[in-house]
């Protein structure tokens, strides 16, 4: 039983350290717009999107291309792990303010 416990702890630490090693990219929401609107990322590397909502209203980060969607409460940050992407453009938007909250990740 002890061996199983320690094996579980060890694998959790390995996964956590691998996740922590991935680069983070900050995207802020202000006045129902994303900043930056364009984000360039190197192909073939896992990364983490950190979405910070500076507005006083709820927003939903959504990307059909990335198959990601997550609520971002007013004044809060969220982290979205993303597996390595192939070169190309990946659009994202704010579901509650689609006319103004638009952006894309350019993978090179």
- Return the sign of the alpha-carbon dihedral for residues 70, 63, 102, 20: positive
Query: Would the pTM of this model clear 0.85, i.e. be above it?
Result: no
What phi and psi values does residue 37 have, to the nearest 5 degrees? -80, -30
Residue 94 has pLDDT above 70, yes or no: yes
Domains for the chain: give ranges and CATH numbers. Answer: 24-107 (2.60.40.420)
What are the structure tokens assigned to 80, written together?
A: 């979205």
pLDDT digits (tens, 9 = 90+) for 51-67: 999 999 999 999 999 99
Sorting pLDDT into bands at 50, 70 and 90, what band is 12? low
């Amino acid at each position: 039983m002890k061996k199983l416990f320690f094996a579980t702890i060890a694998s959790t630490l390995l996964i956590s350290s691998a996740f922590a090693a991935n680069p983070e990219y900050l995207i802020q929401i202000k006045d129902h717009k994303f900043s930056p609107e364009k984000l360039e990322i190197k192909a073939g590397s896992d990364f983490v999107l950190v979405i910070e909502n500076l507005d006083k209203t709820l927003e939903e980060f959504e990307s059909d291309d990335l198959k990601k969607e997550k609520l971002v409460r007013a004044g809060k940050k969220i982290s979205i792990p993303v597996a390595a992407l192939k070169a190309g453009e990946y659009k994202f938007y704010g579901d509650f303010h689609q006319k103004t909250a638009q952006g894309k990740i350019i993978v090179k």
